[in-house]
Amino acid sequence: MVSICFYFQVHQPFRLRKYSVFDIGKNHSYFDNKKNIEVMLKIGRKCYLPMNRLLLEQINRYKDAERDFKVSFSITGTALEQFEQYFPDVLDTFKELAKTKKVEFLSETYYHSLSYLYSKDEFRQQIEMHRDKIKKLFGQTPSIFRNTELIYNNDMAKVIEDMGYKGILAEGWDKCLEWRSPNFVYKPAGCEKIRLLLKNYRLSDDIAFRFSNRGWNEWPLTAEKYMQWVNSVNGNGTNINLFMDYETFGEHQWGDTGIFDFMKRLPEEVLRNPDNNFKLPSELVKDHEPVGEINVPFTLSWADVERDLSAWLGNRMQQSAIKQLYMLEKEIKMIGDKELLEEWRKMQTSDHFYYMCVKYFSDGDVHKYFNPYDTPYDGFITFMNALNDLVLRVKQRNGSLYLDAPAGNKSSSQVFRS
């Protein structure tokens, strides 16, 4: 028996508006509502609505069968807020999905942040915020955690285990697996109760990245062909974890590539083989004993060929910007102003740092859909200008002096100078 476990990541950041040096101290609105609405409406129509309806249809089709169709989602707080504000119809279809009881919602940081790396307090607070939001909207309390961009290491698994989670997700990266297969349930090194579910990146990326690539020797990919690959796992694994961005459907892979038809056909093809079924992450960790322990002493992610943090923290601009952002934590929390706190948190969303990524930029690679900037340098300027305004506001409110630069960081001493 092999179980297919789908997890779809749903995320939209609050993009910053063009914020210049002249705005600092004068204009306190940082976010580009117009752009954010525009993107939300576009992706909502192309991806979220049609795909939610497709899943609902397929779930209902098999809802009373012995082997049913089910999927899991992780939806960030910033995406949920934008559904509420800009596109409530999308939220309604997610609620409908929740009502089927065949859909599981996972936990993550509310702001899709890198907080684990900078503040464990903030990390836990954001997970709680997100858990409350999911409970409120969908009536579920998540028991499985996934971190931003599947950023993961042994210590983090321990923190999550201590918070009571039963499972955690990570990239099934060969470097950690060595000779082993991602298609089993594992235990993170140094943990006892929590289970580790690993992404089968080959089968996931066949859908998420390669589906429409005409240069790929397997193009065009049909549900039948895909199932041959899935079936070959039988006897060789208990579960295939297909983890991917939800924007794959209709956005990264446009509707005219046939991606929707593929997904419509897939449940039927999976269930045609009596040895296959669908399972949710919480079912996998309940039904399977770990076959071994996975040791990840370094920090892993699901991004790029490096599977590391270099996309967000690979250069000095990124490192400096995020360090200066988290330096505000103590003071902002002391002030206790809800609005300030919220703006500070919205700036923690990992996308802001991703936009500053220079690797590949010289080669002309577009690193991210809906990147609002021409260059990573523009991303940095906008972020730093807005951050400097936030710093000013914090300083005014607190009347104290923020900014004694930590040793070795010559740049942070320059905030406020000039």
Residue ranges binding other proteins (CB under 8 A): 20-22, 315-317, 319-320, 358, 361-362, 364, 374-378, 380-381, 384-385, 410-411, 414, 417-418
- Which of 149, 251, 283, 343 is labelled catalytic? 149
Beta-bridge mates of residue 310: none
CB of 317 to other proteins, least distance (A): 5
CB closer to other proteins out of 44 and 376: 376
342 is catalytic: no
What letters, b where the CB count within 10 A reaches 16 and e where it falls short, cover 334-346? eeeeeebbebbbb
CB closer to other proteins out of 301 and 385: 385
CB of 309 to other proteins, least distance (A): 17
Beta-bridge mates of residue 236: none
| 49-61 helix and 259-272 helix, angle to the nearest 10 degrees | 20
350-356-362 Cα angle (round to 5): 135
CB closer to other proteins out of 263 and 321: 321
CB of 351 to other proteins, least distance (A): 19
Residue 116 CA to residue 119 CA, distance in Å, equals 6
CB closer to other proteins out of 229 and 361: 361
How many Cβ atoms are within 10 Å of 215's Cβ, its own excluded? 6
CB closer to other proteins out of 10 and 390: 390
Residue 321 exposure: Cα atoms within 13 Å on the Cβ side: 32
- CA 367 remoteness from chain centre: 16
Helix (H) or strand (E) holding 175: helix 174-177
3-state secondary structure of 345: helix
Which positions are annotated as active-site residues? 149
